[in-house]
Amino acid sequence: MVEWPGTCRHVEGMRRLDQLNFSNSYARLPEPFHTRLQPTPLEGTRLLSFNPAAAELLDLDPLEALRPEFTSWLSGQDPLPGSEPLAALYAGHQFGHYVPQLGDGRAILLGEVQNRRGERWEVQLKGAGVTPYSRRGDGRAVLRSTIREYLCSEAMHGLGIPTTRALCLFGSEEEVGREELETGALLVRLAPSHVRFGSFEVFYYRRQFDHLRRLADYVIAHHYPELRDEANPYLELFRAVTLRTARLIAHWQSVGFAHGVMNTDNMSILGLTLDYGPYAFLDDFEPGLVCNHSDYQGRYAFDRQPDIAHWNLSCLGQALLPLLGEPVEAAAEQANAVLGEYAPAFHAHYQERMQRKLGLRAPRPGDDLLLQDLLQLLAANRVDYSNFFRALGEFDSAPGARNAVLRDLFPDRPAFAHWAADYRSRLAADQGEDAARRAAMARVNPKYVLRNYLAQQAISRAQQGDTSEIERLLRLLQAPFDEHPGDEAYTAPPPDWGRRLAISCSS
């Protein structure tokens, strides 16, 4: 049995929760940007899991998790000293259709903490009760969805992908209605900012351009200060977000991550992975995977994510037009030119990441075709994506080597043999040693990813009162490239029951 209290040891120089350097710069924005309100505590709240790695971002002593005040302050039972709770306003395009008002319907921002390195981290409670933006919702999160976000945000960080972080997870005795009655839960989420594309869209479509400018100035001042002296800082803001988003999506595609609900209100202005709902890591390589069972048209299929990100950026560019200058035709031309930088940036980042996954030392003509042939081969043979690339690191480049372990992953062995011959020739052109290549590939091809069936097993156990699987997965996912002897079972493809789990936006 793994128990999180065992990870809570005093760290010299760390602070108590009520001694953190709390402020709330977003609360300094005027009333239309947010609504001030207190969280609504859940009944019978208890701490289920605590993440010391995220606590370090706040300079928070891990021993604080053992104090009763930790639960009462971070679950909303008592006001946290220094906090200024609020729910933020935003809008967004959901499944391609504009929704004029969304906002934090179940999340409340307590404020931000500046750590010793000068970094600012917002502390947000997700599942903290009804807000003015709940749209007839109950403002709650359920245990299964909270566990999924808690684990996946840390899994993404372990993979080196920009993401929100998860400090801790609370359970409760409160019943929450979804498709059936479930247990209410609360996630404490950290991010440098929770501003999203939809935060700009709401003021653009309301034609509140003064608020639009004020939000852009806030984002530049707090998150892109290097842009303040640019001739057109708002255009450069759009460029910075565009390039960050291109880099983010390239990283998603390289590890086989499907977000599932890429609405513009789920797109971070900082290029972070935001709002984990019906996500999935690929098991069998299925380019058209739709992991959200509410996505009836397949809008957010895995292979459509790069194009959807481009479409979402066009919505952000539209919202920024009033700030880009006059006439509007010239502003639109400038925005479109910046938007045109997305595709080349995405492809450059993606090719670089895939080259490293293949163990290639420098790009050469024909590499695109080698990768394209491989992905088609993986799809045709339904080969496990993560396990294949991890195993590829053991490829023996010697002439005549059979590479039986890899070959046996493919029902069509002759097709693999043909690709393997091309790959062997390509490796020979690099004139590198297998040992160095294997070590390099092991640093970029994870052994452990958060497969949906693994998350479901942790959820099922937690619903029975056993959180040990959460802790075990957290440990593996925070170091996904390591071997972890004895935990090889967590690399297994899903059993039959875990291949087609129905994951919804409320999951």
- Catalytic residue positions? 265
Spatial contact of 187 and 127, defined as CB atoms under 8 Å apart: yes
Question: How many residues does this entry show for the chain?
Answer: 507
Q: State the Cα–Cα distance between residues 14 and 64, nearest whole angstrom.
A: 10
DSSP state letters, 227-280? GTTSSSHHHHHHHHHHHHHHHHHHHHHHHTEE-S---GGGBBTTS-B---SS-E
What is the separation of C-alpha 193 from the centre of its chain, rounded to a whole number of angstroms?
Answer: 14
158, two tokens: 């372990």
Spatial contact of 420 and 428, defined as CB atoms under 8 Å apart: no
Q: State the Cα–Cα distance between residues 240 and 257, nearest whole angstrom.
A: 23
395, two tokens: 């490829």
What is the separation of C-alpha 431 from the centre of its chain, rounded to a whole number of angstroms?
Answer: 37
Spatial contact of 196 and 203, defined as CB atoms under 8 Å apart: no
The alpha carbons of the chain give a radius of gyration, in whole angstroms, of: 23
Tell whether the torsion through CA atoms of 49, 53, 56 and 62 is positive or negative.
positive
Which residues are paired to 170 by β-bridges? 47, 186
Half-sphere exposure of 130 (CA within 13 A, CB side): 6
Task: Give Cβ neighbours of residue 493 (< 8 Å, ≥ 6 apart).
Answer: 283, 284, 384, 387, 451
What is the separation of C-alpha 307 from the centre of its chain, rounded to a whole number of angstroms?
Answer: 18
Spatial contact of 365 and 268, defined as CB atoms under 8 Å apart: no
Q: Cα torsion at 34, 35, 40, 45 (round to 10°)?
A: 20
Phi, psi for 228 (deg, rounded to 5): -60, -30
